[in-house]
Amino acid sequence: MTRIAVIGGTGYAGSNIIHEALSRGHTVVSVARSVPSERIEGATYIEGTLLDVPGLVEELQGVEVVVSAVAARGDMLGHMRDNVAQLVANLPTSVRIGVVGGAGGSLIAPEGERLIDQPSFTEEYKPEALEAIGILEDLQADDRGHDWFYIHPAGGFGAWAAGERTGTYRDGGDVLVTDEKGDSYISGPDFGVAVVDEIENPKHSRERFTVGY
């Protein structure tokens, strides 16, 4: 089994990834600024933050996969891109890196425009989306030898639309996954399934991909 660390493990995406990974027998470390009073049984909880990369790297020794599930909002906005780049630079190349991005960087059609560039994209979400896109660009340009994957959830992804685990999803490559009505959605548990599937059976080495129903 794999030793996985999830940065932002107490958040919505992170906690769903942890639940799924533990259900498959992996060893999971949840990293967050504080240890929650309610914990997922089987996970190890440690305090850490992307705002202190040297301290974070020290705590991640022995981990095989590191997944960043931290959103670029609040006091993280404006700091995520540089700090993720610093984290990548300081992790051994033997560590695989996963990054949970947003839907904004997804394409709306093969070789087409990005979702963030559409008139319908909510203005207030653009700073967060642009920083997430910057992280992807840095990963694509990195030549240190790390293996990584970057996953875009569907447009309808969040605690406000949690949903259930079905164990199914579609991989859209670079393109936002939508259903026959044009809606884009994935539940938290099935997003966790997609991330852990990629960890167990890598299909996207140094690539980004989208998931949805």
Domains of the chain and any CATH numbers: 3-212 (3.40.50.720)
Query: So what's the pLDDT on residue 37?
Result: 85
CA angle in degrees (0–180, nearest 5) for 8-21-125: 35
What average pLDDT does this structure show over 13-39? 96
Is it the case that residue 213 has pLDDT exceeding 90?
yes
Buried-exposed string 51-76: b where 16+ CB fall within 10 A, e elsewhere: eebeebbeebeebbbbbbbbbbeeeb
Query: So what's the pLDDT on residue 13?
Result: 98
What does the alpha-carbon distance between residue 4 and residue 22 come to, in Å, rounded to a whole number? 10
CA quadruple 103, 108, 112, 118: dihedral sign = negative
What average pLDDT does this structure show over 153-159? 95
Helix %, strand %, coil % of the chain (to 5)? 35, 20, 45
What does the alpha-carbon distance between residue 176 and residue 121 come to, in Å, rounded to a whole number? 13
Asked if 66 and 17 touch (Cβ cutoff 8 Å), the reply is no
